[in-house]
Structure 1
C-alpha cells in the first residue's frame, strides 16, 4: 500500500487563517489590556491606587467629551469647538454662581446656553449646508473671543460649594467618575435601547434613506450637535470645579484627545456605526497613555506624536479583519 500523501490533494480550506473573534469595537479592550501591561513594565507607579485616583477625574472629563464628539461624528460631522465650549461653560458658571450665590440655577443656565450654541452649529451644518469643520471652527473663534472678553485674560474662581461638590466621593468613588458613568450610561441607553436612538443611528447611516422613510433628518442632525455641546459644557463645568477656577485655556487640551478617543473606540467617520462604551474605554486608554508618556519624561511634542500614533494603530487594528478576508480569498 502506498503511504505517500499528495499535498496537492489536501483541500485549500485546511490552510485558511483562523477567524478573529474580536468585534470592530472589541479592539479597544485589547488595546487597553496591552497598555496596562506596558505600563506595568515601563512605569508601574502609574498603576498604583494613588495615581489611578488622581487620573480618574481627568479621564472622566475626557470620556464625557469623547462621547459628545462621537454623537456628532456618527452624524457624519465633527465639532472643533469642543475645547472652547468647555472653557465658556466654566466661565459662565463661575460668573453666574458668584453673582447669584446659587449652584443649581447657574448649572442649568449654562447647560441651556451650551445647548443653544450646539444648535447653532447643527443648523449651520444641516440647514445651510456648510462644512462641519468650517462651521465649528468659526464658532470656536467666536467663543474664544467671548472667553477673552468675559475673563479679561484672568482665571475666575468658582464658589467653594461647587468645588466641594466636584471633590466629594460617592460610594467610595470620585463624584466626577460617578457623574461620567451616569452620563455615559444615559447616552448608551438612549442610543441603543430607544426608538429615538435607532432613528438616530438610521439617520447617521444614510440621511437620504432615513428621509425617504419619513424620518425628520434635520432634527437628529441638529440634536447631535446640541447634545454634544451639552456634554462639552458639563465636562467644562466639572473641570472648572475640580481645578477650582475657570481659565481661558481650560478646555484646549481636550479637543484632540477627544477626537482620538472616538477613533480608537471604533466609530466611523462615515456615520452610523459607533459604540458609546467603546468610546468611553478609549478615553480611559488615552488618559492612561498620557500618564505613561509623562511618567517616561516625554515632552509635549512627543505626547502629540504618541496621540497621532494611537490613531494610526487604531485604524490599522480595525483594518485587520479586511486584511484577513483578502488573504483568505487569495488562499
Structure 2
C-alpha cells in the first residue's frame, strides 16, 4: 500500500510567501531604483571607513560636482531612450556649448548671456532636425546623431579656423568652484542647477501632457499614432531637447575644466549613457531622469572610492562596461513596457 506524504500546512504559506515577496521587491525596484540607491550608500560607507576625509564636507561637495557633470550629460540621453532612440551626438554638442561661451564670446566680442541665447536655438534646431529625419525616413538615431554631431562640430571649426582651444573666464569657472556659494548657501551653483533640472524634468515627464505623450509614443510605437498622438512631433521635441541639454551641459563642462578642446565631451557621452542604462530607464520606457540622477551618484561614488584605492583609468572603463552588462541583464528580463500599456 502506497503512502501519500502531505505537505505540512505551515510549509505551504511559507512557500507561497517567497514568490510574493520577490514579486513585491521586483515591483518596488521597478518603481524606484532601490538597489542602486543601496549600492551608493554602501559604497559611500566603505569610502568613509577606508579613505581619510572621504566623508568630510569638502569631499561630499566634490562628489556632488563630479556627479552633476555626469548627470547633466544625461537628460537628453534619458529622453531619447524613453522614446526608443539613442543620441550619440552628446559628446560633440558638449564641445559646441563650451565653444559658444568661450571662443565665440572672444571672437565676436559678445557677452556670455548673448552666447547662451544664441546657443539655445542653434542646438535645438539641429537636434529637432535629427528627430524629424529619424522618424520621417525610419533611419536609426544612432547613425543620424553621429552624423549631426560631426556636422555641428565642423561648423564650430569653420568659425574658429580649425582651432578649438578656448579658456573659460573666471566668472564662468565659479559655477563649479568648490568654494563658490549659491545665494549665500555653501555649495556651488552647478549643484543647484542640477537639482532644478531634476525637478523640472520630473514635472515635465510625469505632469505635463507633452511628457505623457512622449512616454506613450516610446512605449507603444506606431500604435501611438492611432491614439491621435503626433509621434513625429514627439521625436522632434525629444531630440531638440537632447541637443539643447548637451549644449548647456557643455557650458558647465567648460566652467569645470577651464579649457576647451575637441575631446572634452568624450568621456561624458559614455558615462551619461551608462547612468541612464544603470538607472533602469529602458528603450521605450519605463523610466525617468530621477533614475539617471541616482545612477550618476552611484557611479561617481564607486569610481571615487576605487580611485582612492589605486584604480587606473583602464579599470574604470572595465567597471563601466561590466556594470552596464549586469544592468542590461537584470532589466532585460522584465516584460517590455509596450506589453504592459
| SS, match of residue 74 in structure 2 | helix
For 1:23, which of 20, 29, 32 is the aligned residue? 29
Task: Tell me which residue corresponds to 1:138.
Answer: 147
For 2:99, which of 91, 99, 108 is the aligned residue? 91
Task: Compare 143-152 and 67-76 and name the one that shifted more.
Answer: 143-152
Whether 1:306 aligns to 2:319 is yes
Contact 2:127 2:240 in 1 (8 A): yes
Contact 2:124 2:244 in 1 (8 A): yes
Deviation at 1:83, TM superposition (A): 0.8
How many equivalent pairs are there?
A: 317
Whether 1:158 aligns to 2:168 is yes
TM-score by length of 1: 0.87
Contact 2:166 2:260 in 1 (8 A): yes
Cα RMSD (Å) of the superposition? 2.4
Deviation at 1:12, TM superposition (A): 3.6
Deviation at 1:159, TM superposition (A): 3.1
User: Which structure 2 residues correspond to residues 174-193 of structure 1 after superposition, within 5 A?
Assistant: 174-193=188-207
For 2:181, which of 161, 164, 169 is the aligned residue? 169
Contact 1:81 1:136 in 2 (8 A): yes
Task: Tell me which residue corresponds to 1:47.
Answer: 55
Task: Tell me which residue corresponds to 1:215.
Answer: 229
Task: Compare 33-42 and 101-110 and name the one that shifted more.
Answer: 33-42
For 2:309, which of 296, 303, 326 is the aligned residue? 296
Deviation at 1:146, TM superposition (A): 4.0
For 1:232, which of 216, 237, 246 is the aligned residue? 246
User: Which structure 2 residues correspond to residues 316-327 of structure 1 after superposition, within 5 A?
Assistant: 316-318=329-331
CA distance in 1, matches of 2:66, 2:116: 20
TM-score by length of 2: 0.85
> CA deviation digits over 1:217-239, x for unaligned, max 9?
11111111111111111111011
CA distance in 2, matches of 1:303, 1:151: 35
CA distance in 2, matches of 1:298, 1:58: 17
CA distance in 1, matches of 2:52, 2:63: 14
